[in-house]
């Protein structure tokens, strides 16, 4: 079957719609949770599971969803994922209890896993090597934008229309996305045909599910509590058993030989370290903006817009450069910008203004843009085409875990510092509402109370300073382990093949022979 004669950029439209819906889903829902809790009179643990059900299901299924994408017609499979996400979003909006909402969120995560684990794989199929950098930059823009657009959109919808519209908004967008996916994505034949390793899937589900649950709930349960330790104790042997299973299975769910590819492993590890730093920073900033500055969640979202805005300008340029020049150049410079941004934030004061914060956040956006799009290009170009779905699934799984770990590490560092400054403070993160009230009381004649606020700001300074080690470690991984020359050899080889195909096509036209169209 021939390819669609349209420009591949038409196919990017439904990909962007699907990816943005999935990425923005978590941050947009966070704002609506208090309203959901009030309507259903829900316990805190039930509300937490509205988030957990989605995150755990997504992480567990990403590798499987990518694997299936390699085995089926990926363009139809992607549209199916968007349809499932859209239908389940409507069901979430119509939920009659927290239990039904949790169940529908798990179904929503299935659609999210299909979308997330196949977006990059489809981009790889749409664009040949040497022409992927710009579209990988667009993918990086979607990731950065979701962090800040989610709270703004979620706050506006919840305030003016109600929490149901956090999910209803996905329905018209999803319908458009499915329609465009079926019409604009060219036919994509299956790459491999082999049975699914269900035994490996069960081992991976238990291992990753337990690990993710322990990471996201460790702060609330306590890192030494029986429940947290039980999650990690369960996770380790199951993940090890999964590795053994995949090494011995003739048709593994995850081909571990992918990790022998130098640029695949180094690229993913470098991105994970940057993602850790980004997630840690963006998790803590709302506590400062809402608790110290007294902003609403929607207003706090506007304050951090500098990150996606600068990323929007930098990511496509960096991605395009990774098609033409050694990607190590931008990927090694990017972490330095990220470090500079964290150092800037480590000195911010309670009186900081919007425009005073913009330079620090802009440095984070520039650093992220210079690393993410080249890294995705390098990683996806390093694997065989028939493994693109699995590679995409692995990358999204690692990024999702990094995001959860960034939140966990940020919480640990802040509470550790607060206990150091205020002995006996406890294990809870400073509540923004409480911090704002303490600041107000201090300004009305209770200066001793301001000690807590000062301790919180000092703790943020320490955390941002400590977090600089993450991008620096990512820089070392990229510098010493990623092979930019190998990537450039692949790009040059692909360009040479493309020139030969183009020349043969022109010759065929001149002699009256119809050019052969490849599947």
**Predicted local confidence at residue 239, as pLDDT:** 94
Higher pLDDT, 159 or 231: 231
Predicted confidence (pLDDT) per residue in 233-262, tens digit:
999 999 999 999 999 998 899 889 999 999
Q: How far apart are CA 64 and CA 348, in angstroms?
A: 44
Q: Judge whether 386 and 70 are in contact, CB under 8 Å.
A: yes
Residue 320, classified by CB atoms within 10 Å of its CB into exposed (0-12), middle (13-18) or buried (19+), is buried
For the chain, give the percent of residues with pLDDT over 70: 89
* Mean pLDDT value across the chain: 85
Among candidate residues 83, 80, 107, the one with its CA nearest the CA of residue 95:
107
**Predicted local confidence at residue 2, as pLDDT:** 42
192-201, 214-223, 373-382, 493-502: least confidently modelled range = 493-502
pLDDT of 501 above 60 = no
**Predicted local confidence at residue 431, as pLDDT:** 63
pLDDT category of residue 3 using cuts at 50, 70 and 90: very low
In three-state form (DSSP H/G/I as H, E/B as E, the rest C), the secondary structure along 188-248 is: CCCCCCCCCCHHHHHHHHHHHHHHHHHHHHHHHHCCCCHHHHHHHHHHHHHHHHHHHHHHH
**Predicted local confidence at residue 444, as pLDDT:** 59
Q: How far apart are CA 338 and CA 262, in angstroms?
A: 24
Among candidate residues 512, 519, 475, the one with its CA nearest the CA of residue 333:
475
Among candidate residues 320, 344, 322, 340, the one with its CA nearest the CA of residue 331:
322
- Angle at CA of residue 479, ends 475 and 484, nearest 5°: 125
**Predicted local confidence at residue 516, as pLDDT:** 45
pLDDT of 497 above 80 = no
Residue ranges per structural domain of the chain: 8-196+253-504
Q: How far apart are CA 230 and CA 210, in angstroms?
A: 8
Q: List b or e across 156-179, with b for residues whose CB sees 16 or more CB atoms inside 10 angstroms.
A: ebbeeeebbbbbbbbeebbeebbe
Q: How far apart are CA 3 and CA 516, in angstroms?
A: 11
**Predicted local confidence at residue 73, as pLDDT:** 92
pLDDT of 364 above 50 = yes
Predicted confidence (pLDDT) per residue in 401-446, tens digit:
888 888 888 888 888 888 888 877 777 666 666 666 666 655 655 5
User: Residue 309 is encoded by which pair of tokens?
Assistant: 């805005």
Which residues have C-beta within 8 Å of that of residue 85, sequence separation ≥ 6? 18, 21, 22, 108, 111, 112, 115, 170, 174
The CATH topology of domain 8-196+253-504 is: Growth Hormone; Chain: A; (1.20.1250)
**Predicted local confidence at residue 289, as pLDDT:** 84
pLDDT category of residue 454 using cuts at 50, 70 and 90: confident
Q: List b or e across 285-315, with b for residues whose CB sees 16 or more CB atoms inside 10 angstroms.
A: bbbbbbbbbebebbbbbbbbbbbbbbbbebb
**Predicted local confidence at residue 494, as pLDDT:** 67
Rounded to two decimals, the pTM is 0.85
Predicted confidence (pLDDT) per residue in 168-226, tens digit:
999 999 999 999 999 999 988 888 888 888 999 999 999 999 999 998 888 778 888 99
Predicted confidence (pLDDT) per residue in 68-105, tens digit:
999 999 999 999 999 999 999 999 999 998 889 999 99
For the chain, give the percent of residues with pLDDT over 90: 39
Q: How far apart are CA 321 and CA 344, in angstroms?
A: 28
User: Residue 218 is encoded by which pair of tokens?
Assistant: 């460790």
User: Residue 154 is encoded by which pair of tokens?
Assistant: 């979620």
pLDDT category of residue 519 using cuts at 50, 70 and 90: very low
pLDDT of 63 above 50 = yes
Q: Judge whether 157 and 340 are in contact, CB under 8 Å.
A: no
Q: How far apart are CA 147 and CA 124, in angstroms?
A: 25
**Predicted local confidence at residue 336, as pLDDT:** 95
């Amino acid at each position: 079957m021939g390819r669609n004669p349209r420009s591949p950029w038409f196919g990017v439209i439904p990909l962007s719609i699907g990816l943005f819906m999935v990425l923005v889903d978590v941050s947009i829902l966070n704002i609506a949770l208090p309203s959901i809790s009030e309507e259903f009179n829900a316990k805190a643990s039930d509300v937490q599971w509205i988030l957990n059900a989605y995150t755990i299901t997504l992480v567990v299924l990403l590798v499987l969803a990518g694997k299936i994408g390699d085995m089926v017609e990926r363009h139809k499979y992607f549209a199916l994922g968007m349809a499932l996400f859209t239908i389940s979003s409507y069901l979430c909006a119509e939920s009659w209890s927290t239990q039904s909402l949790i169940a529908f969120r798990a179904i929503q995560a299935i659609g999210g896993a299909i979308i997330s684990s196949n977006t990059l794989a489809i981009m790889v199929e749409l664009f040949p090597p040497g022409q992927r950098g710009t579209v990988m930059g667009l993918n990086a823009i979607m990731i950065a934008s979701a962090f800040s657009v989610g709270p703004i959109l979620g706050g506006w919808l919840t305030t003016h229309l109600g929490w149901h519209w956090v999910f209803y908004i996905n329905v018209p967008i999803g319908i458009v996305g499915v329609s465009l996916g079926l019409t604009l994505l060219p036919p994509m034949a299956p790459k491999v045909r082999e049975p699914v390793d269900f035994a490996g899937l069960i081992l991976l589900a238990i291992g990753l599910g337990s690990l993710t649950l322990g990471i996201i709930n460790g702060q609330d349960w306590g890192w030494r509590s029986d429940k947290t330790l039980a999650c990690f104790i369960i996770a380790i042997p199951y993940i090890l058993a999964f590795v053994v299973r995949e090494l011995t299975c003739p048709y593994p769910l995850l081909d571990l030989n992918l990790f022998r590819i130098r640029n695949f492993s180094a690229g993913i590890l470098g991105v994970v370290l940057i993602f850790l730093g980004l997630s840690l920073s963006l998790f803590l900033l709302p506590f400062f903006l809402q608790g110290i500055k007294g902003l609403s969640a929607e207003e706090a979202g506007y304050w951090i817009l500098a990150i996606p805005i600068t990323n929007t300008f930098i990511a496509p340029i960096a991605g395009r450069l990774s098609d033409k020049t050694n990607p190590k150049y931008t990927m090694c410079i990017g972490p330095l910008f990220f470090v500079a941004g964290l150092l800037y934030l480590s000195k911010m004061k309670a009186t900081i203004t919007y425009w005073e914060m913009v330079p620090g956040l802009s440095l984070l956006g520039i650093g992220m843009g210079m690393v993410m799009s080249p890294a995705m290009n390098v990683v996806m170009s390093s694997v065989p085409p028939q493994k693109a779905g699995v590679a995409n699934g692995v990358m999204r799984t690692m990024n999702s875990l990094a995001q959860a770990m960034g939140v966990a590490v940020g919480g640990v560092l802040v509470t550790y510092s607060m206990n150091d400054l205020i002995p006996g403070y406890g294990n809870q993160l400073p509540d923004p509402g409480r911090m704002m009230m303490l600041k107000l009381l201090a300004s009305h004649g209770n200066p001793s109370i301001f000690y807590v606020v000062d301790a919180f700001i000092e703790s943020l300074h320490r955390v941002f300073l400590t977090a600089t080690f993450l991008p620096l470690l990512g820089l070392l991984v990229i510098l010493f382990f990623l092979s930019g020359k190998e990537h450039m050899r692949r790009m040059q080889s692909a360009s040479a093949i493309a020139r030969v195909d183009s020349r043969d096509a022109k010759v065929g036209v001149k002699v009256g022979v119809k050019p052969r169209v490849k599947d």
